[in-house]
Amino acid sequence: MTKFNRRIFVLGSVAAAGTLALGGGGQARAALAYPFKLGVASGDPLPDGVVLWTRLAPTPLDPDRPGGMPTNQNFTVDWEVATDERFTNVVQRGSEVAVPGAAHSVHAEVHGLRPDYEYFYRFKTEGHLSPVGRTRTAPALDVLGRDLLLAFTSCAAFEDGFYNVYQRMAEDRPGLILHLGDYIYEGGPGADALPGRKHSGTREIVNLAEYRLRYAQYKADADLQAAHAVAPWLVVPDDHEVENNYAAWKRDNNKPELTEQQWKDRRAHAYQAYYENMPLRGGAKPNGGNIQLYRRIRWGRLATFHLLDTRQYRDDQACGDGWKYCPEAGDPARSLPGTAQENWLLDGLGQRNGTWDILGQQVFFARRVDGNDASGMDGWDGYPASRDRIQKGWVQRGVRNPVVLTGDVHRAWANELKVDFTNPASPVVGTELVTSSVASGGDRDISDIPIPDAAYNPHLKFYSRRRGYVRANLSQTRMDVDFRTVSTVTSKTHTVSTQRSFVIEEGRPGLRNP
Ligand code: FE
Ligand code: CA
């Protein structure tokens, strides 16, 4: 067990007063300005611990010196975990070294905590104290545990909207938050950006410094910081953390124009910056341009979260992507998660460890076709055999309560899942909840309209074009779902409301009215 390093804290206090202090190596170093401007975060809870995140950045938005940290110095960052917000009862302490090669990010994996318990944490370096974050551990693996309030969302295009959705999620004080991708967008500064929210840089981001600066811009937002500080997050990226609609090593098009090597470097840079800026465990540290993100989080006997990566291993979108009729998409050799991840998912579902098996993933899962049998090639409709194997797989394994959580489409949907979507008599075998976006789409086209293509897809039960998130209370007998929506994202002044609620009953997949 590590002890809080008092010596460094005392030296740091002197540095903060504006004088020179001696660092660990004995060289004189300049005082560090307040470095916790990107907030704090926690993630991936276990019954005995959680990972704590921060990143040192005294000047997050300085384009000439991203982050504003010395590029040749390591910094020791101490952390504390307490049972109270004022840190009178500190139960764990430790320190990590923040290095320039990881953008001075910190990922502290804490162990030795009590299961199913609320904690508070903070960081210290060079005499500076971070904001306080609230987190919690998961219940013990064999325990039924208490109810869990969770919230999930996706798609936070900074230029399109203020983060009212993050603010409201934080106010709910959920026990767990899932972010299903498009946490950042890679586009260059746009002409339609809201005041004060124009994207960093001068062009679509491609290199590591640009991705780092983009994360800093997003993470400097107070509402995003509040949502991170309120609960542990489970994060999975979608496409815009790298570039639009990429598939494994294939690009959607060659814009911006890159050589094959430049594109490979770009993906590696994007994954590196994602890891640096997310509360992920060390197992997710990128390696040779790849990143291990699909993983399982157990929540006692209440729930198991299967977090999927639907970008890194997928076959290329069929028929050149887009919305179209494409028989080739049905080739059984095609997979969206890739064979290894598909098998990993089915193995995990077969364990039936918790009442609820929750798939946290990115793209539209249920079948949705129009009158010409056209559908979206980037979602699971572009990989129907893959979807089939997963749905039939969970049916064969007797999975009682599969719930798919989805982002990506900037619209809210609630869907019933069927092994045969074309047969009205086919039983409902699962439920899908699709969150709208935090900001992407802004206030454009938010009026209420009927469910698109409802006549061809009777399993689609709810649709909304408003910005928002989904809140769900999980118990052993039911899941109470609220589709939450904010009145506007082009102004901080807004209201929040529940547009629609559903109940999913244990042992009875599908959507009921409360
Ligand atoms: Fe998006
Ligand atoms: Ca997306």
Can you give the pLDDT at residue 28? 61
Residue 310 has a CB neighbour count (10 Å cut-off) of: 29
Rounded to two decimals, what is the model's pTM?
Answer: 0.94
Q: How far apart are CA 18 and CA 215, in angstroms?
A: 29
Can you give the pLDDT at residue 11? 34
438 CA distance to ligand 1 centroid (A)? Answer: 9
Three-state secondary structure string covering 306-351: EECCCCCCCCCCHHHCCEECCHHHHCCCCCCCCHHHHHHHHHHHHH
Can you give the pLDDT at residue 63? 77
Q: Give tens-digit pLDDT for 341-390.
A: 999 999 999 999 999 999 999 999 999 999 999 999 999 999 999 999 99
253 CA distance to ligand 2 centroid (A)? Answer: 16
* Every domain of the chain and the residues it spans: 138-512
> What kind of fold does domain 138-512 have according to CATH?
Purple Acid Phosphatase; chain A, domain 2 (3.60.21)
- Helix %, strand %, coil % of the chain (to 5): 20, 30, 50
240 CA distance to ligand 2 centroid (A)? Answer: 6
Q: Which ligand is nearest to the CA of 245?
A: 2
141 CA distance to ligand 1 centroid (A)? Answer: 34
Residues near ion ligand 2 (Cβ under 5 Å): 182, 238-239, 408
Q: Give tens-digit pLDDT for 261-310.
A: 999 999 999 999 999 999 999 999 999 899 999 999 999 999 999 999 99
Q: Is pLDDT at 1 greater than 50 in this prediction?
A: no
The chain-wide mean pLDDT, for the chain, equals 94
Average pLDDT over residues 75-96: 98
Q: Which ligand is nearest to the CA of 379?
A: 2
Q: Which ligand is nearest to the CA of 236?
A: 2
507: left (phi over 0), alpha (psi -120 to 50) or beta: left
Question: Cβ(438)–Cβ(158) under 8 Å?
Answer: no
Q: Which ligand is nearest to the CA of 362?
A: 2
Average pLDDT over residues 76-98: 98
280 CA distance to ligand 2 centroid (A)? Answer: 20
Q: Which ligand is nearest to the CA of 153?
A: 1
Tokens read off for 307: 């977090």
Can you give the pLDDT at residue 19? 36
Question: Cβ(295)–Cβ(279) under 8 Å?
Answer: no
Q: Is pLDDT at 23 greater than 60 in this prediction?
A: no
Q: Give tens-digit pLDDT for 112-145.
A: 999 999 999 999 999 999 999 999 999 999 999 8
420 CA distance to ligand 2 centroid (A)? Answer: 26
407 CA distance to ligand 2 centroid (A)? Answer: 7
